[in-house]
Amino acid sequence: RVLVTRRWPADAEAAMAAAFDVTFNEGDVAMSPQALAEALRSFDAVAPTVSDRLTADLFEGATAKIVSNYGVGYTNIDTEAAKKAGITVTNTPGVLTDCTADLAMALMLSAARRLGEGERELRAGKWTGWRPTHMIGVKPTGATLGVIGFGRIGQAVARRAHHGFAMKVIYFDAYPIPAEAAAAVGAEQRASVEDVLREADFVTLHTTGGAENRHLINAERLAIMKPGAVLVNTARGECVDEAALAQALKDGPIAAAGLDVFEEEPKVNPALMAMENAVLAPHLGSATHSTRVAMGMTALENLKAFFDGREPPNRVA
C-alpha cells in the first residue's frame, strides 16, 4: 500500500496503480505533519514531494519500509532519521536535469534582459514607445558564467551557456568533478565560492539545500559579486539569504536575480516581491509534462525494485 502525497500526471498515476494499491492524496496544499506521520504508520511506502517535510519526529513509530521522493532534491526528508528507523529513501535524479537547466537559462535571460519588468510595464499601459535608453539590460552572450555546484544540472546549464551563448564557464564544487566533464564545456575550476563570485558576470546555483548549504549566498558573499552581476537560483531556497539578496538588489552591487525557489515556499519574502529586478517563478524547474511523468516513473521504479527485493536504482539512504 502506497501513499502518494499529491496527484501526478495521469500516465504516471496509471503506471503506479497497475503496480501497487495506491492512494493519491487529493488537494493542492502540502500534507500536514500529522497526516504525514500517520501515513508513515499506515502505508508500506510514501511518495512525497518537495513541500512535504519529513522531519525526524515523524519517523518515530513509523512502519513504512520506503520513502520514494518525487524529485531529485531530498532535503525535505531527514534521511538520518529515516535510516535510524530502518526506512529506505530514494529520489529521481537525471530525468529533470534538462528541464531544470532550461529554466535556469530562462531565468538568467529574463533577469538580464529585464523581461518581467518590461512585461509589467507594457501590460500596465505604461510603455511610451521605443527609445535608445529604455530598459537597458545586461548582455549574457560572451560573458562569464559561474556555476556553484557542478553536478548533473550545473553541467547541463554550462553546456547551454557555453555552446549556445559563447559564455566562459567557471565553477566551484565542494566535491571532485571528473576532468572530462569540465573539459566538455571548457569549464575552469575555481578554489572557492568567493573566487567564482569575484569573477563571474552571472552566477547560477546547483548545489543541494539543507543545513550544509544554508545561506551559501549571504550578505558578505553578495558584497563581493561584480557590479551588475546576475544571480540565478533553481537549487533550493535556503541556499540564499533572501533578506540580504533583497538588500543587494536595492543597493548593489548586483543588477538582478532570477529565482525559482524560496526559503519558505510558498511564501516569498515581501522585500523580494518589491524588487522590479527580481524575476520570481513558483518552483517550476521540472514543470513540463514529459519530465513530471518521468519523475513519477522513476519514483515507481524505485518502489518496484525495493518490493521485488532488488536494490532500488536511486537509493539515497
* Interatomic CA distance for residues 89 and 65, integer angstroms: 9
Told to judge if 80 belongs to the known catalytic residues of this protein, a careful annotator would answer: no
At its nearest, how many Å lie between ligand 8YV and the CB of residue 284? 8
Place of cell 543545513: 211
Site string for ligand 8YV, 168-207 (x = CB under 6 A): ----------------------------------------
Question: What residues contact residue 169 under an 8 Å CB cut-off, 6+ apart?
Answer: 144, 145, 147, 158, 161, 162, 185, 186, 187, 188
If binding is defined by CB under 6 A, does position 73 make contact with ligand 8YV? yes
Distance (Å, whole) CA 220 – CA 218 = 6
Instruction: State the CB neighbour count (10 A cutoff) for residue 305.
Output: 17
Residue keyed to cell 540580504: 244
Q: What does the per-residue mask of binding to ligand 8YV show for 92-111, with x meaning CB under 6 A?
A: ----x---------------
154 lies in the binding site for ligand 8YV (CB under 6 A): no
Nearer to ligand 8YV, 73 or 146 (CB): 73
Give me the torsion for CA of 261, 92, 286, 48, rounded to 10°: -60
Total length of the chain: 317
Residue 70 binds ligand 8YV, judged by CB under 6 A: yes
Smallest separation (angstroms) from ligand 8YV to the CB of 71: 2
Site string for ligand 8YV, 227-266 (x = CB under 6 A): ----------------------------------------
Q: Which residue among 236, 238, 263, 292 is the active-site one?
A: 236
Separation of alpha carbons 75 and 266, rounded Å = 16
To the query of whether residue 236 is one of the catalytic residues in this protein, the response is yes
**What would the grid cell of residue 311 be?**
536494490
Q: Residue 50, interface with ligand 8YV (CB under 6 A)?
A: yes
Give the active site residues. Answer: 236, 265, 283
Q: Which residues bind ligand 8YV (CB under 6 A)?
A: 49-50, 70-73, 96, 283, 285-286
